[in-house]
A and B are shown apart, each in its own frame.
Chain A
Amino acid sequence: MTALLLLPLLLPIAMPALARRALDRLAPADALWVITVSAVVLAGCSLAALGAFVLTGLLKLPVFAALGELVHPLRTASDLLVVPLAATSVGGLAVCAWTLARSVLRQLRAFRTARTEAGHGPAAGDLCVVDSPRPDAYALPGRPHRIVVTTAMLRSLDAAEREALFAHERAHNEAGHHFFLAAAELAAHCHPALRPVRETIRLAAERAADEAAAGAVGDRRLTARAIARAALAGQSARSARPDFAPAATTGPVPRRVQALLSGPHVPRRAVPWITVLLVGCTAVSCVAAGTGMIDFHHRVEVAQGDESR
Chain B
Amino acid sequence: MDERARPYRAAARSTAIVAKVHRTVDEDGVRDVPMADSKDERRPAGELEASVMAALWAADGPQTPGQVQLSLGADLARTTVTTILSRLHEKGVVDRHRQGRGYAYVPVQDAQGLTARRMHTELDRDSDRETVLARFVAQLSADDERVLRDLLEPGER
Check B142 against A120 for contact (C-beta < 8 Å): no
Residues of B within 8 A of A232 (CB): 140, 145, 148-149
Determine whether B117 belongs to the interface, using a CB cutoff of 8 Å to chain A: yes
Within 8 A of B (CB), among A85-127: 103, 106-107, 110-111, 113-114, 117-118, 120-127
Interface of A is mostly: helix
Determine whether B147 belongs to the interface, using a CB cutoff of 8 Å to chain A: yes
- B1-9, B29-37, B95-103, B107-115: which one contacts chain A? B107-115
Determine whether B49 belongs to the interface, using a CB cutoff of 8 Å to chain A: yes
Determine whether A37 belongs to the interface, using a CB cutoff of 8 Å to chain B: no
Within 8 A of B (CB), among A155-195: 155, 157-160, 162-163, 165-166, 168-170, 172, 177-178, 181-182, 185
Check B151 against A114 for contact (C-beta < 8 Å): no
Query: With A and B bound together, what is the CA distance between A113 and B115 in angstroms?
Result: 10
Nearest chain B CB to A27 CB, angstrom units: 18
Residues of A in contact with B, size category:
35 or more
Q: Mark A199-215, 1 if CB is under 8 A from B, else 0.
A: 00010011001000000
Determine whether B92 belongs to the interface, using a CB cutoff of 8 Å to chain A: yes
Interface of B is mostly: helix
Within 8 A of B (CB), among A211-267: 224-225, 227-232, 234-235, 238, 244, 246-254, 257-258, 261
Check A238 against B139 for contact (C-beta < 8 Å): yes
Check B134 against A130 for contact (C-beta < 8 Å): no
Determine whether B54 belongs to the interface, using a CB cutoff of 8 Å to chain A: yes
Check A250 against B54 for contact (C-beta < 8 Å): no
Check B139 against A244 for contact (C-beta < 8 Å): yes
Check A230 against B136 for contact (C-beta < 8 Å): yes
Nearest chain B CB to A260 CB, angstrom units: 10
Determine whether A136 belongs to the interface, using a CB cutoff of 8 Å to chain B: yes
Nearest chain A CB to B91 CB, angstrom units: 4
Nearest chain A CB to B6 CB, angstrom units: 20
Given A106-B128, A154-B58, the answer on whether A124 and B93 have CB atoms closer than 8 Å is: yes
Nearest chain A CB to B92 CB, angstrom units: 6
Check A246 against B148 for contact (C-beta < 8 Å): no
Measured CB to CB, the nearest residue on chain B to A140 is B133
Q: Can you pick out 23 interface pairs between chain A and chain B where the beta carbons lie within 8 Å of each other?
A: A106-B128, A117-B122, A120-B112, A120-B115, A121-B110, A121-B115, A122-B112, A126-B47, A129-B113, A129-B116, A139-B134, A148-B119, A154-B54, A154-B58, A162-B58, A166-B51, A202-B134, A225-B152, A228-B152, A229-B152, A231-B138, A235-B139, A251-B144
Query: With A and B bound together, what is the CA distance between A118 and B119 in angstroms?
Result: 8
Within 8 A of A (CB), among B9-31: 17
Given A129-B107, A147-B50, the answer on whether A159 and B135 have CB atoms closer than 8 Å is: no
Most buried by A among B49, B52, B117, B134: B134
Determine whether A132 belongs to the interface, using a CB cutoff of 8 Å to chain B: yes
Most buried by B among A159, A227, A238: A159
Given A124-B93, A232-B149, the answer on whether A131 and B109 have CB atoms closer than 8 Å is: yes
Determine whether A151 belongs to the interface, using a CB cutoff of 8 Å to chain B: yes
List chain B positions with a Cβ less than 8 A from chain A: 17, 44-55, 57-58, 71-74, 88, 91-93, 107, 109-113, 115-120, 122-123, 126, 128-145, 147-149, 151-152, 156
Determine whether A153 belongs to the interface, using a CB cutoff of 8 Å to chain B: yes
Check B133 against A257 for contact (C-beta < 8 Å): no
Measured CB to CB, the nearest residue on chain B to A160 is B73
Query: With A and B bound together, what is the CA distance between A129 and B72 in angstroms?
Result: 17
Residues of A within 8 A of B74 (CB): 159, 163
Query: With A and B bound together, what is the CA distance between A136 and B116 in angstroms?
Result: 13
A-B interface, 6 closest residue pairs, ranked by CB to CB distance from nearest: A124-B53, A125-B46, A127-B50, A246-B141, A125-B50, A125-B49
Nearest chain A CB to B157 CB, angstrom units: 9
Check A114 against B136 for contact (C-beta < 8 Å): no
Residues of A within 8 A of B52 (CB): 124
Check B142 against A258 for contact (C-beta < 8 Å): no
Query: With A and B bound together, what is the CA distance between A169 and B50 in angstroms?
Result: 12
